[in-house]
Amino acid sequence: MTMKRPTYPFVTTALRVDQPLGIFYIVSLPAAVVLDVAYSDRLSARYSSKKNEYTITGTQRAAQMPRLEAIAKYVSRVDAAFPNAIILAGNAPQLPEGADTVANASDDAEDLDDGDEWSIVEGPAGQFQLTIPSDRKMANIIDGQHRLFGLARAPVDAVDHMGLVCAIFLDLPQPFQAQLFAIINSTQKPVDKSLTYEQFGYNVLDEEPEMWTPDKLAVFLSRRLAVEKDSPLFKRIIIAPKKDKALEALTNEKLWRVSTATVVQGISRLYSSNPGRDATQMLAGKRKPRSSLERFRKDNSPLRPAFIEGNDLLIYTIAFNFLSACKEEFWKKQPDSFITRTVGVQALFDVLRLLIPEALAEGTIATSWFRDRLRPAGDIDFNEDRFNASGSGRSLISREIRAKLNLTTGSKR
């Protein structure tokens, strides 16, 4: 019997769930779709139309293989059921073959092929719709790999008739993926800490700051910006898809929010042009401190020396003071505009990258200096129709602000 293959783009309804950690979506997906698009660092399934079967690639502890076989036998029964959810991190593309750790997948979503990026939109009556554009492996498995890859060892007709409940986080930073994996497994049964390290490229035990990868530091600083009461982003950072339409709709002064991924991305780019590559270098083989990166590759990011030296306070203070200036010069004046949307915040971080060398050259990182520098752009109307929520909108906002500030790449005024 030839298996009925999924067609892409695959579109399905989704249920939005808001919890303290953030936003995720519950969906029912055909097992064949999940096998197409999901992976773990240790296992991956590929369907062969010629053989009409799945092939599992990757390494797995020997003690776990019998478990896969047992699941495969169970799936073939007429009363098979998997009511608990498989937890996936969407928009986390699988590593190229031969890469050392999953940390390499943490490059910005802007680096992804837009044709492969998963998206969620709100439809009528509060319903949500998830679109999976292609069969590219874009979902890292946080929990449920045995259930899924047990299915891959079952007869294809059994897979063809199986639906799976999935809880999907979109654009979830990898330190949060590791946190979820550790919490879920530590409350169910003990998991070797080395497995967590190998699976996600992060040690979930407390680490010394000098061992933090670029995105782990960015997550730490983003959390501080979210919870400190005097922060310009106090209670405004939430784990959610970067292109979440429901978030984009919250644009009044009290409610507007941005995703954790947006802020993590913006901060990490201040000191790393390629956070994924840096993480891979730090985690490959023997774990290495961030100072080791200095001898591996040149990086002209404006706060690279601060990151290498472990001067996290400088990085945080610059981000805090700049965002405080943005609050006064932009957000308070135009809370219901594109400058408070994802594209606006991304564009502001782009501007900050160019302002930092100038600030350091003048020997100041005070909020007042950033306010004076940003003030000429305060008359831009970010409500105008020419601005939009796409990547081109981000570029346009950045370009407009830079023009007002007479700021160009490499400029020190």
Structure tokens at 312: 């996290």
This model's pTM is above 0.85 = no
The Cα–Cα gap between 241 and 165 comes to 19
Does the pLDDT of residue 186 top 90, yes or no? no
Per-residue pLDDT at 247: 57
Per-residue pLDDT at 387: 86
- Higher-confidence position of 401 and 148: 401
The Cα–Cα gap between 215 and 188 comes to 28
**CB-based burial, 95-122: b 16+ in 10 Å, e otherwise:** beeebebbbbbbbbbeebeeebbbbbeb
Domain residue ranges of the chain, discontinuous segments joined by +:
10-200, 209-404
Beta bridge partners of 143: 87
For the residues 192-219, what does the mean pLDDT come to?
A: 65
Average per-residue pLDDT in the chain? 82
The Cα–Cα gap between 15 and 65 comes to 33
- Is the preceding peptide bond at 214 cis, omega within 30 degrees of 0? no
Lowest-confidence region among 9-13, 144-148, 331-335: 144-148
Per-residue pLDDT at 286: 82
Per-residue pLDDT at 239: 74
Q: Which amino acid is present at 205?
A: L
- Higher-confidence position of 148 and 345: 345
DSSP string over 247-291: HHH--STTT--EEHHHHHHHHHTTT-S-HHHHHHHHHSSS---GG
Per-residue pLDDT at 97: 54
For the residues 96-106, what does the mean pLDDT come to?
A: 44
Q: Which amino acid is present at 18?
A: D
pLDDT over 90 percentage in the chain = 43
Closest CA to 17 of 27, 9, 8: 27
| Count of helix runs (H) and strand runs (E) in the chain | 15, 12
Per-residue pLDDT at 245: 61
Per-residue confidence band for 198, with pLDDT thresholds at 50, 70 and 90: very low
